[in-house]
A and B are shown apart, each in its own frame.
Chain A
Amino acid sequence: MTHLPAVPIIVPALAAALLLILHRAPIVMKRAIGMGATVIFAVAALAIFEETRSGAPLVYRLGDWPPPFGIVLVADHLSAFMLLLTASLALAVLLYAVQGWDARGKLFHPLFLFQVMGLNGAFLTGDLFNLFVFFEVLLIASYGLALEGLEVERLRAVLHYAVINIAASSVFLIAVSLLYGVTGTLNMAHLAERIAEVRAEDVGLVRAAGLLLLGVFAVKAAAFPLYFWLPAAYSHAPAPVAALFAIMTKVGIYAIIRVTTLIFPGGEGAGMELTSPWLMPVALITLALGTVGALGAQRLAGMTAYLTIASVGTILTGVANGGSKGLAAALYYLAHSTLVIAVLFLVSDLLGRSRGAAADQLHPGPPLRQAAPLGLAFLFAGATVAGIPPSSGFLGKLIILQSTMNGLSVVLIWTVILVTSALTLVTCSRAGSIVLWNYVEPDQPTRDRPPRAGEWTALAGLAGCSMLLVVFAAPVTRYTGEVGMQLTSRGNYIEAVLGSGHDDLVRPQAVGKAAP
């Protein structure tokens, strides 16, 4: 048994603990440890990606307990894809942060690594209760990261963000234990099997638990009507932290995809399709409201936060389309939107820092010193997020539109996606022209820190990844297609976790449980 799937969790956890012990160490040492751990994780993510290319999921049994009894980590195509995305984002964000921003917060590096550990754990775990635990790890790290500096605005935003997430976690626990009460297992592969054996009178309970889970994941993903915590929390978070948060809403989407494809795949009985009447309207309303919010935002960071919500809506449209094609389209868009939202947060920070007191507010400020590179960076981010060809946003939206070729709702979906794209373009051009083209002579000279080479490198790295999604569109879409296929044919996952000869092991217990 290879230990590879445990590396993305163990290494950041150990490094973060070490950083907590060494919290008085010089900043150079902290940077070295943080960077080293993130690089090791990135290499491990690449290795996991390569190992799972064949299609067989990697299964890691903690303590070598056989699966229905012990906890497993499972790296299938979807997990490997999400890990690789997390690794690219984390490397770029950390590179941006170590240019001087991280010196302000004593605990930035350990919290950053705990957040990465929570993200990786959520993507890798094959156990529903463990998913809850990793959600809590990444959330509590995110509270700490977003609080940096303890300004009143941040306190207020984090208080609201924390309260809704803690309440959602309680609901998560109730849903998980309800599933356990009916099926007698928490292992997701085992649940997927047991769900077919649920007695007719318990079907309602299982469906209720499933919908509660969906509600909780919608809070994490910031889907309508549960997104109100996001704009304040993201727009007041420090820029590198907000850029890392670009992947946090995607954890909610990941959980929705994982639970609906594995445990509620459709058919008869308790495993019946769960999302179909709900997810599509929710997705379209989220997309529309996110875009309108971005149009009305007063600050660049606020605009980006609302665009995050809009991107969640677009991804969920793909997920709601369902089938391997819909999921593949959603995953391509997920990768694109994570990268471009991070780019937008970082560009907003650079612009805000160059404008003195005007900061990133959408009114004219002092003239910019590095107007050309900043303007180009903003142009790239705006064009990509709005979906101008040949950007990854254009391809992503095109693939999502293509995956909705049947049914009566096509007109509605196409209209919403195309109109919101046009509105996003208006939003970005308005913001860009106000911030970059209009200026007022400042009363006093601004003394700000100009963008550094390392910050440009981080930005270029993220933008480069986004461009790679376009240049290598064929292999990437082929890969997301494989992910979609693997998700819809769940036998592969179940067999990898439980093994083909597991029936003898679990059947007696299942019979005992089912007897009244």
Chain B
Amino acid sequence: MEFIMAVGIGIVTACAVYLLLRGRTFSMVLGLSMLSTAGNLFIFSMGRLRPGASPIVAAGAESYADPVPQALVLTAIVIGFGMTGFIMALAIRMRHQTGSDHVDGLEPMPERRPEHGP
């Protein structure tokens, strides 16, 4: 299970880095949220992966999951959510003011196909 988890986090991180390096704001936002997802999974796995362990005190439970990473993940999700929301608002505003979804606002949008035109 550790192996699958590690490989999975690695793949998500690689995809996130690829998307982050793209020049368009939408793929960049996707990249940022994937990076924070990978980070959250990583925090979670740092409490060790224990299948069947009790999350809170229960009668007869023999092993417990580490509660601290869960609390950390919760905080990180909240902050990541806020940041993603902010960066999306920023990207949309950029798109309106520059007419382009390029991160520098310099390249024009790809040409619209006629059937989607006004």
Chain A residues within 8 Å of B, Cβ to Cβ: 129, 133, 136, 140, 143, 147, 150, 152, 155-156, 158-160, 162-163, 166-167, 169-171, 173-174, 176-178, 180-181, 186
Contact = CB atoms under 8 A, between A and B. Distances in A.
Contacts of A143: 86, 90
Contact of B38 (A136, A150, A170): A170
Given A173-B39, A178-B46, A180-B69, A159 B86 contact: no
A156 B94 contact: yes
A170 B76 CA distance: 9
Contact of B25 (A133, A136, A147, A159): A159
A133 B75 contact: yes
Given A163-B28, A163-B87, A177-B69, 8 more contacts: A129-B72, A150-B93, A156-B94, A156-B105, A162-B90, A166-B83, A174-B39, A177-B42
A281 to B, nearest CB: 26
A163 B46 contact: no
The 5 closest A-B pairs by CB, nearest first: A181-B46, A177-B43, A177-B46, A170-B39, A173-B39
A171 B40 CA distance: 11
B61 interface: no
A159 B103 contact: yes
Interface string B53-71: 0000000000000001100
Contacts of B75: 129, 133
Nearest to B72: A129
A103 to B, nearest CB: 22
Contacts of A174: 39, 42-43
A133 B80 CA distance: 11
Given A152-B97, A167-B20, A170-B35, A159 B43 contact: no
Interface string B38-52: 111011011110000
Contact of B36 (A129, A155, A170, A176): A170
Contact of A162 (B35, B86, B105): B86
Contact of A163 (B20, B36, B40): B20
Contacts of B25: 159
A180 B76 CA distance: 15
Contact of A140 (B45, B86, B91): B86
B90 A155 contact: yes
15 contacts: A133-B75, A136-B79, A143-B90, A152-B97, A152-B105, A159-B90, A162-B83, A162-B87, A169-B83, A173-B40, A176-B72, A177-B39, A177-B72, A178-B42, A181-B48
A155 B86 contact: no
A171 B43 CA distance: 11
B103 A140 contact: no
A163 B32 contact: yes
Contacts of B35: 167, 170
A156 B104 contact: yes
Contacts of A136: 79, 83
A305 B58 CA distance: 57
B73 to A, nearest CB: 9
A136 B104 CA distance: 24
Nearest to A156: B105
Given A163-B32, A174-B42, A152 B98 contact: yes
B8 interface: no
B90 A158 contact: yes
A133 B71 CA distance: 13
B107 to A, nearest CB: 13
A173 B90 CA distance: 24
B104 A140 contact: no
A170 B82 CA distance: 14
B39 A155 contact: no
Contacts of A147: 90
Nearest to B37: A170
B87 A173 contact: no
B37 to A, nearest CB: 9
Contact of A166 (B32, B48, B97): B32
Interface string B79-118: 1101100110011011001100001110000000000000
Contacts of B87: 159, 162-163, 166
Interface centre among A129, A150, A169, A173 (most CB of B within 10 A): A173
Contacts of A167: 20, 32, 35
Contacts of A133: 75, 79
A32 to B, nearest CB: 29
B71 to A, nearest CB: 9
A177 B48 CA distance: 11
Contacts of B43: 173-174, 176-177, 180
Nearest to B28: A163
Interface centre among B25, B35, B76, B103 (most CB of A within 10 A): B76
Given A152-B97, A170-B35, A180 B46 contact: yes
Interface in B1-51: 20, 25, 28, 32, 35-36, 38-40, 42-43, 45-48
